[in-house]
Chains A and B, each alone.
Chain A
Amino acid sequence: MNSRLLPAAIQAGNGIWLFFVIYCAFLLGIGWLGRRARTAEGSLSDFYLSARSMSLWVLLPTLYATQYSGNTLVGFAAKAYRDGFTLLVCVTFMMGVVAMYLLYAPRLFALSRRHDFITTADYVHWRFGNRWLTTLVSISGIVAMANFIISNLKAIGVMTEAATAGQTPAWVGICFFAVIILIYETMGGLRSVAWTDVIQGLVLFAGCIVIFIAVILQAGGVGSMIQQIREAAPQFWDPPSLPQQIEWFSTLLIISVGIALYPHAVQRIYAARSSQALKKAFQVMVYLPLFTTLLMLSVGWIGRTRFPFLDASASESITMDLLAAIAVEVPAIQWVVFLFLAAVFSAIMSTIDSALLSISSMITQDLYRPVRPDLPEKNLTTFGKYSSFAVMAAAVLFSIFINKSIYKIIEIKLELLAQIAPAVLMGLYWRNLRAAPILWGLVIGLAVSLFFVLGSMFLPDGLIPRKPLGIHAGLLGLIINLVLVLLIQILGRNRGATNRSGLSTEE
Chain B
Amino acid sequence: MAKAGGITNAVNVGIAVQADWENREFISHISLNVRRLFEFLVQFESTTKSKLASLNEKLDLLERRLEMLEVQVSTATANPSLFAT
Bound pair (A, B): no
Q: Which residues of B contact A (CB under 8 A)?
A: none
Q: Which residues of A contact B (CB under 8 A)?
A: none
